[in-house]
Chains A and B, each alone.
Chain A
């Protein structure tokens, strides 16, 4: 038996290579298939957030980045036409109350590519945010932030550097984790 095994001719190296390729190529393609083709890696994380000064959805005072500096900041892009924004809505209202109560961070909304009327109807139905929202009617600020879907939330530290970005609805875990990241939890 051992004699027979030793007699078997060695498999040539190119057959090994071919075999490896036959396994590796479908494997790599398979991994590629599980990825989300619409996902865009963020360019803004690790950078200073872009400045903005937007008309408010209601009230008089502009929603401006310079007023929000010096404290950790949560920026939430939302729209009345965005279905999954409804999902995260109660969490945002809670988060706004928390910002008011504990004064650990600021939070601001950006109403993205929306009409003020539709946005107001949305808020009447879903509940109003305890914080202001600025209007980004043409989506320019969204382009500055590299936004490609709604909702998106950015977590900015007290120095104005974007530390995290949440694409899609917020979750309690994501909120806690990212607030810690921007030093909003003591």
Chain B
């Protein structure tokens, strides 16, 4: 009986840590802070997001981000808040609509155009090759008459 109790105790003791609540080292909203922070460009840096930047302005923007999330603002509202102050510049990836859309739309269009041009060129050269081959084929076998004509 003692042994069983001891075994049960050991099993329980080993199971205890995993049964405990998972470690919580930060507020749940911090995930969202990081997500939004990674999308926003630090205005006083070059191509660095406000999450990575050590600048005072970026630090303050992160603080504002937290405050606004705590107030229940949505991600879109917060991004718009900073966009209305710093413009599209503050977005690390340009918006899909408006002028920024050009950056997204042009490369696929160029790719399709290049593909079409390539196909066209290939077909044209294949046509040419085909015509040459066709011309080279004699309509009738050489005979004495045609040889004469060639010799003049």
- A residues near B, CB below 8 A? 14, 37-38, 40-44, 113, 138-140, 142-146, 148-149
Q: Would A140 and B46 count as touching, CB distance under 8 A?
A: no
Q: Does B22 contact A (CB under 8 A)?
A: no
A/B interface sample: 24 pairs, CB < 8 A: A14-B121, A37-B46, A38-B46, A40-B43, A40-B86, A40-B89, A41-B89, A43-B84, A44-B85, A113-B56, A113-B57, A138-B63, A139-B57, A139-B60, A140-B60, A142-B57, A143-B57, A143-B60, A143-B61, A144-B85, A146-B87, A148-B43, A148-B44, A148-B57
Measuring CB to CB, which residues of chain B are less than 8 angstroms from any residue of chain A? 43-44, 46, 56-57, 60-61, 63-64, 82-87, 89, 117, 121
Task: Please name the residue on chain A nearest to B89 by beta carbon.
Answer: A40
Q: Which residue of A lies closest to B47 (CB)?
A: A37
Measured CA separation A41–B117 after assembly (Å): 38
Mostly, the B contact residues are helix
Q: Judge whether A43 and B60 touch: CB under 8 Å.
A: no
A56 to chain B, nearest CB (A): 21
Q: Which B residue's beta carbon lies closest to that of A40?
A: B89
B115 shortest CB reach to chain A, Å = 14
Residues of A within 8 A of B46 (CB): 37-38
By secondary structure, the A interface counts as loop
A14–B114 Cα distance when bound, in Å, is 11
Query: How far apart are B17's CB and chain A's nearest CB, in angstroms?
Result: 42
> Do B85 and A146 have beta carbons less than 8 Å apart?
yes
Contact flag A148-B56 (CB < 8 Å), given A38-B46, A143-B61: no
Q: Are A148 and B86 in contact (CB under 8 A)?
A: yes
A40 to B84, CA, bound (A): 13
What separation, in Å, do the CA atoms of A57 and B66 have in the docked complex?
A: 28
Closest to B42 in A: A148
Q: Which residue of B lies closest to A145 (CB)?
A: B85
B49, chain A: closest CB distance, angstroms? 15
- Which residues of B have CB within 8 Å of A41? 87, 89
Q: How far is the CA of A181 from the CA of B9 in the complex (A)?
A: 83
B64 touches A149 (CB 8 A): no
Q: Which of A14, A38, A43, A138 is the one whose CB lies under 8 Å from B85? A: A43
From B56, B84, B117, B121, A139 is in contact (CB under 8 Å) with B56
